Amino acid sequence: MAPDQPVGRLQGKRCLLIGGTGGLGLAAARRFLHEGAQVVLVGHQAIESPPCPVLVGDATQSDQVERVVDEAETRLGGLDVLYHLAGASGRRHGDGSLHECSEVGWRWTLDTNLTSVFLSNRAVIRRWLQRGQPGVILNLASVLAFSPSPHHFDTCAYTAAKAAIISLSRLAASRYAAAGIRVNVLAPGLIDTPMAQRAVTDPHIAHYLTTKQPLRRGPGTPQDCAEAAVFLCSEAASFVTGIVLPVDGGWSVCEGQSG
C-alpha cells in the first residue's frame, strides 16, 4: 500500500481532540484524518490553515468544556473518541523543584494538565452513559510520571499532574469497562514540539538523550505519538483498556548518561 493512501483504521470514527492545535495535536489530527476519521480540534485560539474544524475554548473551565463538547457533537453528528492532549509546562508560572515550586505554579500547572483532563473526561462519559453508548478516551501523560529525571526535568507539579492522569484514567477504565468505554494513556518521552524547545535545544539534554532515548538517540517526533494514538483509538485495540503506553524511545528502561 502506498504511504499516502489512507488505511482506514479509524474509518467513520467521530473524534474530538482537546489541546489539538499544538505539535502533538496537529500531528494526531492529520493522522486521524488520514485513517478515515472525522475530527474536530479544540485549542486556546484559532490557527491558520487547520486540517479540520477548530473550536476555541479554555479546557480548564467546565462551562467552556461543556460547550465545545456539545459543538463538536453537533458538527460530527455524535462522538466516538476523545483524545485529550491539553497541557503545558508550568515553569514560567513557578513550577520547579519541590522546595522551590510556588503555590501559584502548583495550582496553574495542575489546572492546566490535570483539571482539564477531569473536565473533558467527565463531560464525554456523562453523555455516553446517558445514551448507553460505548466510546474511547485517550489521555496524554508523560514518561516523567513514573521515570523521573531530576537533573534535567525537575518540575514537581507537572510530574504530579501527569502521574494523577494515569491514576484517574485507570480508575475510569475499571469503572466504565462494563459500559463499553475504554480509557487508555499515552506517556511520551521527550518529543520535538514547540512546548519542548527548551529541552530539545539544550546541548546537555541532547547528549543525555543519546543514551536515555537510544532508539532515536534524540527526541521523538509528534508522528511517533500519533501512530500510537491511532492504534489505541481504533478497533485494533478493542480489547485494550487501562494501559499506559510509553512512547519514549527507551527512556523508561534505559539509565541515560549525563556525563
Say how far apart CA 34 and CA 15 lie, in whole Å: 13
Number of domains forming the structure of the chain: 1
Residue 207 lies in a domain: no
**Residue partners of 178: CB distance under 8 A and separation at least 6:** none
Residue 202 lies in a domain: no
Residue 149 lies in a domain: yes
Residue 204 lies in a domain: no
Query: What's the pLDDT score for residue 5?
Result: 53
Which of the following is catalytic: 83, 158, 176, 208? 158
What CATH number is associated with residue 127?
3.40.50.720
- Which pLDDT tens digit goes with each residue over 17-65? 999 898 999 999 999 999 999 999 999 998 999 999 999 999 999 999 9
Residue 6 lies in a domain: no
Residue 70 lies in a domain: yes
Residue 185 lies in a domain: yes
Domain extent at residue 185: 14-191+221-243
pTM, rounded to two decimals = 0.94
Helix, strand, or coil (residue 159) = helix
Residue 230 lies in a domain: yes
Say how far apart CA 61 and CA 165 lie, in whole Å: 17
Per-residue pLDDT averaged across 96-123, rounded?
Answer: 98
Per-residue pLDDT averaged across 160-188, rounded?
Answer: 98
Annotated active-site residue 83? The verdict is no
